[in-house]
Amino acid sequence: MTRVTAGLRSTAKRAQVDTLIVAIAFGMSNVGAYLLNVIAPRVLSQADWGEFGSLLAIVVVGAVPALGLQTFAALRVAKLRTEDTASRDPRELPRRDLGQLVSLALTVSAAVTSSLIVATPLLMALLHFTTPLPTLCVAVALTGVTCNGIFLGILQGAQRFGALARLIIIDGLGRTGAALVGLLVFGTVIGALGAMVVGTLFVATTGWLMCGRPPLVKREPGHVSGVFHTGQALLGLVLLVNLDLILARHHLPPDAGGEYAVGWVMTRMAYWLPYSIAVVALPRLADAEQRRRIVPITLGFCAGLNALVVLVTVVFGDGIVMLIGGGGYAASTLPLWAFALVGSLLSLVQILLYSRIASADRRSTVLVWVAVGIEIGLVTVWLNDSMIQIVTAAVATTAGLVVASALIEVRHSRLALPRSPQLP
């Protein structure tokens, strides 16, 4: 065995361990969210649960800038490690650079919070809230959520996946876990959201400490632009994950829309299942040479894992539908495998999108928004008479997006290959 081969095997083994650690952390962090969605309808009245569910949806959408910050910071720190140090500890990176990232987080979080505060009257009218206090609580909570995105990204870019896993778990406990405690103690929407505010601010403080307490340093002007372009691409992906459900609720009768939502749960499961693979791979995508080697490997792992998911839904689809939706769906003819396929394809899109973001190819990220427009057009104009038609539109759109993104990736990889010198 050559030294190079041994090094590659060691790297692959470490990546597998890191992926497992991050996957376990995500699983543990989601326990609070699961319990909150199970317990809240039993504690709150139907009207209050409807209000609380809407507010939780706002939190999910409002957290997209945090995801953009995390991705931007992970790539930035990974690049710094390549240029300046081989250390895995972000505290040994230039504190000026880390301080700029913290200042960037405060800038973005202030923009997110102030935007939601300004939009509070509109949200009250659209969602029929009787008081602005719940929306204001969500706005403050998003301050902590957004700031913590930068600390997650710093640890991710430094490839400190053990510390990243701990902060992911703390984030889950501080966000949904704290809301659950507030709900059980006070039994009100405000009580749950107030506890969430405290929890998210605690999580952000913990993340700052775990990253070595970097000081505030004036950020570079281009950082905000970088986060914006990263965030808009990821927002398009998040919208694609949820788009078919929104379209189904608009075009289908209420009962059919509810049945479609059961299938959509499978879409989310298939999409998020290999997410830890993407988290571990992202820092390595900052280097062009590693990117050419890692993207095909990562796509292969995700495709293999999701092929198993699709196969399971083909064989045990009816039982899984009842497991998700309950006995009332025993007679359902829902094509669960198609929903699993949509989520699987979107997980591949995520890897390819990360690669394009890492290479600063902003034009290619527009493809995601083109896919959003195509899916809306397909369903609005043509495929809107049944669940099968709508999920078919989702499959066709995401499959086309995977093919187009893969072709762009192959083209850029070939262009980046070093050319042999010409003989005189």
Given this model, what pLDDT does residue 56 score? 81
Given this model, what pLDDT does residue 424 score? 38
Here the tokens at position 109 are 């979080």
Given CA atoms 168, 20, 23, 275 in this order, what sign does their dihedral have? positive
Q: What are the C-alpha distances in Å from 388 to residues 190, 240, 335, 345?
A: 40, 17, 7, 17
3 state SS of 420: coil
Given CA atoms 299, 305, 309, 312 in this order, what sign does their dihedral have? positive
| pLDDT tens, per residue, the chain with 424 residues | 555 455 555 566 676 777 788 878 878 887 877 788 778 877 888 678 778 877 887 888 888 899 889 988 988 888 887 765 555 455 566 777 788 888 889 999 999 999 999 999 988 887 778 889 989 999 999 999 999 999 999 999 888 888 999 999 999 888 888 999 999 999 898 999 999 999 999 999 999 999 888 887 776 766 777 788 888 888 888 888 888 887 887 787 877 777 787 788 788 888 888 888 888 888 888 777 778 888 888 898 889 988 999 999 888 877 888 777 667 777 777 888 999 999 999 999 999 998 888 887 777 778 899 999 999 999 888 887 888 888 899 999 999 999 998 888 888 777 655 544 443 3
Cβ(357)–Cβ(230) below 8 Å:
yes
3 state SS of 169: helix
Given this model, what pLDDT does residue 4 score? 47
Given this model, what pLDDT does residue 11 score? 60
3 state SS of 246: helix
Here the tokens at position 318 are 């009816």
Global pTM reads 0.81
Q: What is d(CA 263, CA 393) in angstroms, rounded to the nearest whole number?
A: 14
Given this model, what pLDDT does residue 218 score? 75
Q: What are the C-alpha distances in Å from 380 to residues 7, 149, 385, 390, 391?
A: 52, 36, 10, 10, 13
Question: Could you please report the per-residue DSSP string of 333-372?
Answer: ---HHHHHHHHHHHHHHHHHHHHHHHTT-TTTTHHHHHHH
Specify whether the backbone of 187 is left (phi greater than 0), alpha (psi in -120 to 50) or beta. Answer: left
3 state SS of 188: coil
3 state SS of 159: coil
Given this model, what pLDDT does residue 89 score? 54
In a 10 Å sphere around its CB, with 0-12 CB exposed, 13-18 middle and 19+ buried, how is residue 128 labelled?
Answer: exposed
3 state SS of 130: coil
Given this model, what pLDDT does residue 245 score? 80
Q: What are the C-alpha distances in Å from 373 to residues 220, 268, 358, 366, 398?
A: 34, 20, 24, 11, 12
